[in-house]
Structure 1
Amino acid sequence: MSSHHEGTASPTPAAPPVKKAPEKEPRLDAGNKHHDHYARRLPPCRHAMRNYLLPIVRWETPYLALMQDKLRSPALDSYFAVTANLGTHTFYMVFLPILYWCGYTNIGRAMVHMLAAGIFFTGFIKDMLCLPRPLSPPLARITMSGSAALEYGFPSSHSSNAVSVAIYALYKLHSAREDHHPNVFLALQLLCYWFAISIVFGRLYCGMHGFLDVVVGSTFGGAIAVAQLIIEHSFDNWLFVTSPLPPLIITLVIFVLVRIHPEPADDCPCFDDTVSFVSVVIGINVGAWHYAMTGLAIDDPIPSTNPFRLETVGLPRATLRILLGVVVIFLWRATMKPTLFTVLPPIFRLLEQLRLNLPRAFFLNASKYTSIPTLRGDDNVIPSASELPNLLKNLAHPRKRSVSVGPQSAADAYETLAYRNRRRRESINSLDGAVQEDVAWSPVVKKASLRDLRSSSRQREKSPLGASPLPTPAASRVHSYEQMMGTGHVEGINITPDDSETELVTQSPAEAASEKREIFMQLMKPRVRYDVEVVTKLIIYSGIGYVAVCANPILFEFVGLGTGIRTGSI
C-alpha cells in the first residue's frame, strides 16, 4: 500500500442520491449506472471516450493476472520493483543536472525536453480520460513508490519516458559509431534495449499497467524522441540570441499549458508531476540563455555548454562539483518552500476577493485556511533532504518492496464498485433467462429456490469477457480471475467470489451506500492540497532548472571547482 501523507483528509464521499434514471441511462457503461461518479464529473465528450476504452482495460485484466501468476517469483518481484525506479521522476531529476555539470549539456537539455513532454502529454490524457489501472484483485501491485498507484493508468508515463530516452540514446550512439570499439558499441546498444524493455515490461509484471497503457505510452515516447531529434538544432538556434524574447515566449507557453491541463474526476497527483517537470523546462531554458550571455559558456557541442574536462578538473574536484551542486539545489528547495507558503496565501486571498483567482479541483482555496502545516510526502519529483536517509536505506536493501492487493485510490474504488454493479446486472439478466427457460420446458411449473436459479444461471452464462469458457486450464484460470475482479480484497478483508456472487443479485440503496462506504474506508485518506502549491512548484522547479544550468556552473568557477575558463586556461 502507499505511504501515509500528513494533513487532514477530505471526508469520504457520500453515496449519490438515488434518482429515477432517464430512458437513455442503460446506454451508459455498466460501471457508471448506480455508481455514476464519472458520468457526473466528466464532460460528455470525455465521458464517452472513457466509456469506449474502459472495456479494454477490463478485458485485459484477467490475462495480465494469468501472466503475472505464471511469471512471479521473489527475485523477479525485487528486480522489477527496483528497475521501476529508473523510470521515476526522482531518478531523472537527480541524474540530469550531473550531465550539465560534466559537460553533456546537449544530452541534458534533450532529456529534460523529452521527459517533460512525456509527463505532460501522458498526464494530460490521464486526467482527461480518468481510466483506472487494471483491477486489483486479481492483480497484485508491486512497487517501491508510494504515489504511483494513486494515479490513473492510461497511458503509462514510465513507458513513455523509457522509450523516448532509449530511442534518443540509440540514435546518438549510431551517429557516433566510429568513436566506440565494436564491443563497447554492442554493449551500449544492449544497455539501451535493456533499459526500455525492463521498465515497459516491468509495468505489466508489477500489475501497474495494462497492455493498452504501455503500448500507447511507448508510442508517445517514440514520437517525442523523433520530434526532439528533428527540431533540437533549430530550437537551439532560435533560443540563443541576444534578445530575451525566446525564453519569455517559452515561459508564457508553459503557463498556458499548465492552465489548460484538464481537471480530473478524482484526487490524482498527475497534475502535480506535470507542473514540476514543465517548470524545469522554464528554468533550463531561461538559465541556458542567461549562461550563454555571461561569456563563461562554450558553443561545443551546443551553445551554453558548461566547459568540462576531467583531465583538467580531476576526479576529486569533479566529485566536489557534483556534491556542491546537489547541496545548492536542496538548499534552494528547502529555503523557498516555507518562504512561498508564508508569502503566497495572503496574495491568493486578495486575488480571491477580487475574483482573479484560478481555482482548481481538490486544492483548498486560501480563504479556507490560515496557515499551511509542515507537509511530508507532498513531492513525487524531488524528495526533501529529511527523506534522503530513508531513500538511501531503501537502496541499501534493494529487495524492499510493497505488494498490495485491493483498491488503493479513488479511481480503484469506483472501478471496484462499478465492476461489482456490472456483475449484478449480468446476474439479474441471467436469472431472468433461467426463469423463462424453466417455464418453457417444465410441464408443471415449480417454484425454484433463488440459490438453484443462481446455480443454473451460472452454468448458462457466458464469460464477462464475451466468450464461453473453454475446457482448458488457461481458460479456467482466466475465468477464475474474472470472478476475482471487483471483490476488493484489502489488508485481510476478502470477499470471495462465491460469497460475492450470492450477494450480487439484489441490493437496496442502503446496502449500496454501505458497500461504497466500506470500500472507501479501506483507502488511504488523501492529504489536504493547498492552492498555493501550484505556484510554489512553478517557482521552485523553475529555480531548480535555473540553478542547475546557470547558477551552479557560475558558482563552480568562483569557488575554484571550474575548468579555469575565466583565466583563459582552456
Structure 2
Amino acid sequence: MQELLAYLQDPELVARFQRRCGLFLVGAAHPSRRRTGGHTGASVRAEGPRGQLRAVGQETNWLLHILFLFSAGLGHEIFYITCLPCIHWSLDPFLCRRLVNMWGLVMYIGQVMKDLLKLPRPVSPPVVKLETRVDAEYGLPSTHAMAATSISFTLLFSAPSRLQFQFEVGLLIAVTLSSLVCLSRLYTGMHSVLDVICGVVISAVILLLTYPCWETLDHLQLHTRISPIAVPALLLFLCYKYPDLDHYSTTRGDTTTILGACAGSSVGYWVNEQLGETFEPQGTLPVPLPTLTANALALCTGRFLVGVVALVGTRQIVKTTSLHVLYSWYRVPKNDHNARRRKEIEVPYKFTTYTAVGLVHSILTNRIFVLLGLL
C-alpha cells in the first residue's frame, strides 16, 4: 500500500502526463526573463517563488492547453461569482441553494484537511507549474477536484425532482466536467495523482453521507427562526477557528470567501421564503427544461450581464469600505497591502464582502430582473 501511495504521489507521474498532453519542460529561467519557444510550439512560463529559478515549459498541443486551462478556471473565484449564480437566475434557485450548501461544506473540509495534513505539491522540475497563486498551499486533497465533484453531482442528484431531463445525459455531463477539472490540476502541475484521487473520493463520501439529510437541512435553513443568525455566526466562527500555519497561505482567505458567500446566500434564501417570493419554477414539479429560443437566450444574457455587474460592484464597494474601516480601527497605513493578510483583518473583510455578495445574489438580483423585464 505504501508503495502504491508513493507511486501516486510521485511528481514524475504528473510530468509524464504533461508530456503526453504536449507540455514539455525545456529548462529554467530567471523570473525577469522569458524563454522563447521553438518551432514546435509556444513557450509557457511556469513561475516559481520570487527571486528563484523557475521551470519553463513548452506546449505543443494548443487545443489541450486551452481546454485544461479553461477547465482549471472552473475552480476559481471568477467562475463562482459568474456561472454558479446563473443557476439561480435562469434555472432554479432551489438547485442553486443546494449547490452553495454542499460547496461550502465540501470546500471547508478539504481546505482544513489540506492544512492539517501538510503534504507538499509536486516539485518543479520535473513538473511544469502553470499557476503561482496557490503554490504556497499544501496539496492533498485537491479542492478543485472536490468542488467539481460536489457541484456536478449535487446538481445531478437534486435536479430530477425539479426538472425533466434524461438522467444518463446529466450523468455524462457531470462525469465529463469533473474529469476535465481533475485532469487540469495534473496538467497545470498543481497536484499529484494522489491529491486528485483523494479529492474525488472525499467529496463522494461527503455527498453520500449527507444526501439523506438534504431535505431536513433545507427545512431547517428556510423555516427556522434562528437560521439567519445561527448560520452566519457558525460560519464566521469556523473562519476564525481555521488552522493557523507558520507561513501565509491563501487557504484561510479562500475559505473565508466561500463561507461568507454561503452565509449571505443562506440568509437571503431565508428572507425570500419569509416574503413568499422564492422565484422557483411554477407548476407541477418536475417542470420541463426552458426552451432555448432567441428571446430566451437574450433574456438569459441580459440577466447574466446585469447580475454580474451587481455582484462585482457589490464586491468592490464592500471590500473597499470594510478594508478602510479595519485599517482605521487597527491603525494600519493605507498603503500597507500586506496588512490584509493578518487574521484580524483578512477574516472580517472577506467574510463581510462575500456575505454582502451572497445577499445581493439571493435577494436583490431577481427583483432587479423583474423591474427591468428580464424575468
TM bracket (short chain): 0.7 to 0.9
What residue in structure 1 maps to residue 200 of structure 2?
218
Per the alignment, do residues 191 and 292 of structure 1 end up closer, same or farther by CA in structure 2, a change over 3 Å counting?
same
CA deviations 1:467-494 (Å, max 9, x no partner) are: xxxxxxxxxxxxxxxxxxxxxxxxxxxx
What residue in structure 1 maps to residue 57 of structure 2?
none
Map residues 25-424 of structure 1 onto 2, 5 A cutoff: 56=6, 60-73=10-23, 74-75=60-61, 76-143=64-131, 146-172=132-158, 179-180=164-165, 186-241=168-223, 244-297=225-278, 315-347=297-329, 349=330, 366=331, 369-372=332-335
Confirm or deny: 8 A CA contact 2:264 2:354 kept in the other structure.
Answer: yes
SS at 2:135's partner residue? helix
What residue in structure 1 maps to residue 54 of structure 2?
none
Q: CA shift at 1:208, angstroms?
A: 1.3
Confirm or deny: 8 A CA contact 1:58 1:134 kept in the other structure.
Answer: no
Which residue of 529, 532, 545 maps to 2:341?
Answer: 529
Q: CA shift at 1:316, angstroms?
A: 3.8
Paired letter, 2:104: A
Confirm or deny: 8 A CA contact 2:128 2:189 kept in the other structure.
Answer: yes
Confirm or deny: 8 A CA contact 1:128 1:264 kept in the other structure.
Answer: no
Per the alignment, do residues 88 and 334 of structure 1 end up closer, same or farther by CA in structure 2, a change over 3 Å counting?
closer
Confirm or deny: 8 A CA contact 1:287 1:549 kept in the other structure.
Answer: yes
Q: CA shift at 1:235, angstroms?
A: 1.3
Confirm or deny: 8 A CA contact 2:260 2:351 kept in the other structure.
Answer: yes
RMSD, matched Cα: 3.2
What residue in structure 2 maps to residue 539 of structure 1?
352
Confirm or deny: 8 A CA contact 2:235 2:263 kept in the other structure.
Answer: yes
Q: CA shift at 1:120, angstroms?
A: 1.1
Per the alignment, do residues 247 and 212 of structure 1 end up closer, same or farther by CA in structure 2, a change over 3 Å counting?
same
2-structure distance, mates of 1:286, 1:60: 44
Paired letter, 2:127: L
Confirm or deny: 8 A CA contact 2:121 2:138 kept in the other structure.
Answer: yes
Confirm or deny: 8 A CA contact 1:318 1:561 kept in the other structure.
Answer: no
Q: CA shift at 1:162, angstroms?
A: 1.4
TM, length-normalised to structure 2: 0.77
2-structure distance, mates of 1:325, 1:261: 31
Q: How many residues matched?
A: 327
TM, length-normalised to structure 1: 0.52
Per the alignment, do residues 228 and 94 of structure 1 end up closer, same or farther by CA in structure 2, a change over 3 Å counting?
farther
1-structure distance, mates of 2:80, 2:148: 11
Q: CA shift at 1:142, angstroms?
A: 3.0
Greater fraction strand: 2
Per the alignment, do residues 57 and 285 of structure 1 end up closer, same or farther by CA in structure 2, a change over 3 Å counting?
farther
Confirm or deny: 8 A CA contact 1:276 1:541 kept in the other structure.
Answer: yes
Per the alignment, do residues 294 and 212 of structure 1 end up closer, same or farther by CA in structure 2, a change over 3 Å counting?
same
CA deviations 1:23-50 (Å, max 9, x no partner) are: xxxxxxxxxxxxxxxxxxxxxxxxxxxx
SS at 2:106's partner residue? helix
Q: CA shift at 1:59, angstroms?
A: 5.8
SS at 1:150's partner residue? coil
Per the alignment, do residues 549 and 321 of structure 1 end up closer, same or farther by CA in structure 2, a change over 3 Å counting?
same
SS at 1:142's partner residue? coil
CA deviations 1:418-472 (Å, max 9, x no partner) are: xxxxxxxxxxxxxxxxxxxxxxxxxxxxxxxxxxxxxxxxxxxxxxxxxxxxxxx
Q: List runs of 5+ in structure 1 lacking aligned partners.
A: 1-51, 303-307, 350-365, 376-525, 564-570
Per the alignment, do residues 317 and 282 of structure 1 end up closer, same or farther by CA in structure 2, a change over 3 Å counting?
same
Q: CA shift at 1:267, angstroms?
A: 1.6
What residue in structure 2 maps to residue 561 of structure 1?
373
1-structure distance, mates of 2:65, 2:300: 36
SS at 2:130's partner residue? strand
Question: Which has the greater radius of gyration?
Answer: 1
CA deviations 1:309-360 (Å, max 9, x no partner) are: 889x95544433332222121221222222222222333x3xxxxxxxxxxx
- Greater RCO (Cα-Cα under 8 Å, separation 6 or more): 1
SS at 1:65's partner residue? helix
2-structure distance, mates of 1:198, 1:192: 10
Paired letter, 1:529: R
CA deviations 1:355-387 (Å, max 9, x no partner) are: xxxxxxxxxxx5xx32245x6xxxxxxxxxxxx
Confirm or deny: 8 A CA contact 1:132 1:154 kept in the other structure.
Answer: yes
